[in-house]
């Protein structure tokens, strides 16, 4: 019986051991990424909770205003993203003033360096300006 255990055990002595290390690294990398996204979501929620109280739900109000203005789902999504970047508690507030809509376009342009994404956002904001104010984004002052 002692002959079986004479050779010291090596945990990673062949190519299967190397494959195991790679799989473990991928697993722990995925777990670390998941924890990072969960932490970012938690911090975002805490930041939004610290903002001043608003009458009504921001999403409900945005849905109602966008329905009245004839704006679609992609416009709502864009307004939510821009409001978050502008640190506005209410995405609908962007639709109240042409100056805020221009500021939203500047914020979008500054925060998105990838050309197709930047152009998509600017085109959608131009569409919103035409729907809400009856003028293109370039004519708003």
27, 50, 73 — which closes off a domain?
50
Among positive and negative, which fits the CA dihedral 70, 72, 75, 79? positive
Number of domains in the chain: 2
Q: What percent of the chain has pLDDT over 90?
A: 48
How high is the pLDDT of residue 52?
66
- pLDDT at position 20 is 79
> Do residue 75 and residue 43 come from a single domain?
no
Whether residue 63 is found in the same domain as residue 10: no
Task: Answer yes or no: do 31 and 67 share one domain.
Answer: no
The verdict on 26 and 70 lying in the same domain is no
Whether 12 shows a pLDDT value over 60: the answer reads no
Record the pTM: 0.60
Residues 44, 63 within the same domain: no
CA R_g for the chain: 26
Q: What is the mean pLDDT of residues 14-26?
A: 78
Q: Is the pLDDT of residue 53 over 80?
A: no
How far is Cα 42 from Cα 97, in angstroms, rounded to an integer? 31
- Exposure pattern of 93-108 as b/e (b: 16+ CB <10 Å)? bbbeebebbbebbebb
| Distance in angstroms (rounded) separating the CA atoms of residues 121 and 105 | 8
């Amino acid at each position: 019986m002692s002959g079986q255990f004479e050779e010291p055990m090596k945990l990673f002595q062949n190519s299967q051991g190397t494959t195991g290390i790679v799989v473990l690294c991928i697993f722990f990398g995925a777990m670390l990424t998941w924890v990072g996204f969960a932490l970012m979501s938690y911090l975002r929620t805490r930041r939004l909770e610290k903002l001043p109280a608003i009458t009504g739900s921001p999403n409900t109000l945005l849905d109602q205003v966008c329905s009245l203005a004839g704006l679609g789902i992609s416009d709502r999504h864009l307004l939510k993203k821009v409001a978050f970047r502008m640190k506005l508690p209410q995405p609908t507030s962007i639709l109240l003033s042409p100056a805020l809509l221009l500021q939203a376009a500047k914020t979008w342009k500054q925060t998105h360096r990838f050309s197709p994404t930047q152009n998509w956002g600017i085109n959608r904001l131009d569409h919103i300006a035409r729907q809400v104010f009856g003028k293109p984004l370039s004519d708003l002052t």
